[in-house]
Amino acid sequence: MKKDTYIDIHIIGEADTVIGLREVEETIRKEFRSATKISRSTINPENFYDPSRKQYHSTKILKEMLDELPADASKMIGIISHDLFIPILTFVFGEAQLDGNVGIVSFARLQQEFYGLPPNQALLQRRLIKEIKHELGHTFGLIHCSLRECVMSVANNIADVDAKGSTFCEGCNELLRRSQKGQ
Amino acid sequence: METYCPFLKDEKMAFCKGFPVRKMLPYDRLYHQDNICIKEEHLTCPVYRAKDAERLSGHSSNKKVCPYLEVEEVLFCEVYPVKKMIPSSAFKLECPCTTEAYIDCPAYCQIAQGDRASGETMTVRGFLLDDTVYYHRGHLWLQRVNGKVRLGLDDFGQWLLGDIDKISFPRRKEHVERNKPLLRIRCSHGTAEIASPLSGTLMNANEEVRRDTSLINTDPYGAGWLVELRLAEAELDRLEQGGEGFIATPGARRWLEDEIDRLHGVLETEIGITMSDGGQLIDTLRDVVTQSQWGILIKTFLEN
Ligand code: SF4
Ligand SMILES: [Zn+2]
Ligand SMILES: [Zn+2]
């Protein structure tokens, strides 16, 4: 990877009042061996609200993020508090361009409160980190992994998020390194 | 000439019955479109080329073995990195499988709690998967019933089609050819032409389904069956020995997961292919795809 590029952590809305950005940055630096920067989005999620679904259209926000992608950033990972969807799925925890530049994670459903449970900051943070790694993994061309212990395994509900591991398995890690070399 | 990759091995390996994938062939993920390992194309396989991974054959004779640990004759790539071998590499990586620690293994706990009893219908991302039938890549299931072979659409297949207006079958006693038209299914977005996965004689068509097509949607593996064929011996072998286009039952779960993932690739967005992680596929696909997208989906998944 080129030296002067970085992964942009793109805050959409007031996400950073709820989550610990320092840990997010540290994880990305370590796992993706890349510098990071934090940017504040000008995107207004309300423009992507779908009243019939009462959710926000994830792909449309990603498209908007592409316009905000700084020239020197290699990837951009959006963090948003709004509940996201794509037309064919009932909701999404996140979405990313496969082998592309942008990914997004919503923490709406990563919060215990969503399920009527008392808040748990540490748990939210763990889940968020997993999903961020996962979506960034997609931007590096990784597809879903069949190993539950791998962070690239797919999650269809919050139990899956909790059950999966927080690191890349050996195979995914290898693919990630290859993909980074190719850049 | 040798058409098998020299690194494709078959050997007794230990597997966890609880893992979604039983046969962890390395290409199941990277090259799942085509099994390159058994063709000459293996020469282009990066794994074949970088044959530097270690060989796995550790063994142990521990008494306190997890009941879900199973030994099976399997195919595997000798030079693929460790991770594809999971439960067998258990012996080496101190996996819980062969020690009392299996009690705490999340996979074990899940099955022990009755998450999935074997021989029963299970679901894969919301789709029913019956593990007592054979699957064909065109999302058909097949099962031997009284000397005939019964065929229907799998749950994913019926979901893709959505509401069905009309279904037409060949006439009774008519001969059907493998890869030639078998079913015509008219839906609101268009008509699907489903080819027969095998050659045979049509013995029965499900008259109930002809009258009430919603049975296909509500009970795809049961009352929604479509036709019964009588097959010649060679065709039966094809079915039972996993001929071209058939998915071995243990691999069906993984196959269906891949198919669901593939859906995202086919429904390309304005910004190219994206991967999403989230809930279930919505109930009615029809409402969110255009007619032409529907046509592409049917071509890709049912008419291939
Ligand atoms: S301990 Fe877990 S991984 Fe090992 S065989 Fe039992 S269920 Fe499978
Ligand atoms: Zn993995
Ligand atoms: Zn994913």
Q: Is the pLDDT of residue A54 over 60?
A: yes
How far apart are alpha carbons A79 and A58 in whole angstroms?
Answer: 11
Which has the higher per-residue pLDDT, B228 or B94? B228
Q: Which domains does chain A have, with CATH numbers?
A: 6-181 (3.40.390.10)
pLDDT for B23: 35
C-beta atoms surrounding B65 within 10 Å:
15
Assign B206 to helix, strand or coil.
coil
In chain A, which residues have their Cβ closer than 8 Å to the Cβ of B125?
A: 154, 156
- Distances in whole angstroms, Cα of residue A157 to Cα of each of A23, A84, A90, A115: 24, 14, 11, 11
Helix (H) or strand (E) run with residue B214 in it = helix B214-218
Which has the higher per-residue pLDDT, B57 or B233? B233
Helix (H) or strand (E) run with residue A10 in it = strand A6-12
How far apart are alpha carbons B159 and B22 in whole angstroms?
Answer: 26
Q: Do B282 and A59 touch (CB under 8 A)?
A: no
pLDDT for B2: 36
Question: Which residues does B121 contact at the CB level (< 8 Å), separation at least 6?
Answer: B128, B129, B130, B131, B221
Which has the higher per-residue pLDDT, B77 or A83? A83
C-beta atoms surrounding B245 within 10 Å:
17
Q: What is the DSSP string of B140-190?
A: EEEEEETTEEEEEE-HHHHHHH-SEEEEE-PPTT-EE-BTSEEEEEEETTE
User: pLDDT tens for residues A82-141?
Assistant: 999 999 998 999 999 999 999 999 999 999 888 878 889 999 999 999 999 999 999 999
Out of A90-99, B13-22, B144-153, pick the least confident: B13-22
Q: Tokens 């992507």 appear where?
A: A48
Mean pLDDT of B186-194: 94
Distance of CA B106 from the midpoint of ligand 1 (Å): 8
Look at phi and psi of residue B176 and say left if phi exceeds 0, alpha if psi is from -120 to 50, else beta.
beta
Q: Measuring from atom 7 of ligand 1, which residue has the nearest CA?
A: B108
Give, to the nearest 10 degrees, the angle between helix A121-139 and helix A21-32: 40
Q: Are A76 and A7 in contact (CB under 8 A)?
A: yes
Give, to the nearest 10 degrees, the angle between helix B252-266 and helix B291-301: 150
Q: pLDDT band at residue B195, thresholds of 50, 70 and 90? A: very high
Mean pLDDT of A140-150: 89
Helix (H) or strand (E) run with residue A78 in it = strand A73-80
C-beta atoms surrounding B184 within 10 Å:
14
pLDDT for A23: 92
How far apart are alpha carbons A145 and A130 in whole angstroms?
Answer: 14
Ligand 1 pocket, residue B66 CB under 6 Å: yes
Out of B27-41, B226-240, B278-292, pick the least confident: B27-41
Interface test with B, best of A58, A64, A66, A95 (most B CBs within 10 A): A95
Q: Are strands B190-195 and B200-205 parallel, antiparallel or unpaired?
A: unpaired
Nearest to A57 by CA among B128, B274, B41: B274
Distance of CA A134 from the midpoint of ligand 3 (Å): 6
Q: Tokens 């789709």 appear where?
A: B127
Which tokens go with B20? 């979604």
Which tokens go with A70? 């700084």
Ligand 1 pocket, residue B16 CB under 6 Å: yes
Nearest to B144 by CA among B243, B256, B245, B240: B240
Which has the higher per-residue pLDDT, B86 or B292? B292
Asked whether the CA dihedral B109, B115, B117, B123 is positive or negative, the reply is: negative
- Kindly report the length of chain A: 183
Out of A60-74, B75-89, B146-160, B175-189, pick the least confident: B75-89
Assign B8 to helix, strand or coil.
strand
Out of A107-116, B72-81, B202-211, pick the least confident: B72-81
Q: Is the pTM of this model over 0.80?
A: no
Q: Do A63 and B29 touch (CB under 8 A)?
A: no
Mean pLDDT of B160-173: 94
Q: Which domains does chain B have, with CATH numbers?
A: 8-90 (no CATH), 116-304 (2.40.50.100)
Question: Which residues does B91 contact at the CB level (< 8 Å), separation at least 6?
Answer: B14, B58, B59, B60, B98
Pocket probe mutation, ligand 1, options B70, B97, B103, max atoms within 8 Å of Cβ: B97
Would you call B277 an interface residue with chain A, using a CB distance cutoff of 8 Å?
yes
Q: Which residue of A has its CA nearest to B251?
A: A146
Distance of CA B69 from the midpoint of ligand 1 (Å): 6
pLDDT for A73: 96
How far apart are alpha carbons B28 and B254 in whole angstroms?
Answer: 8
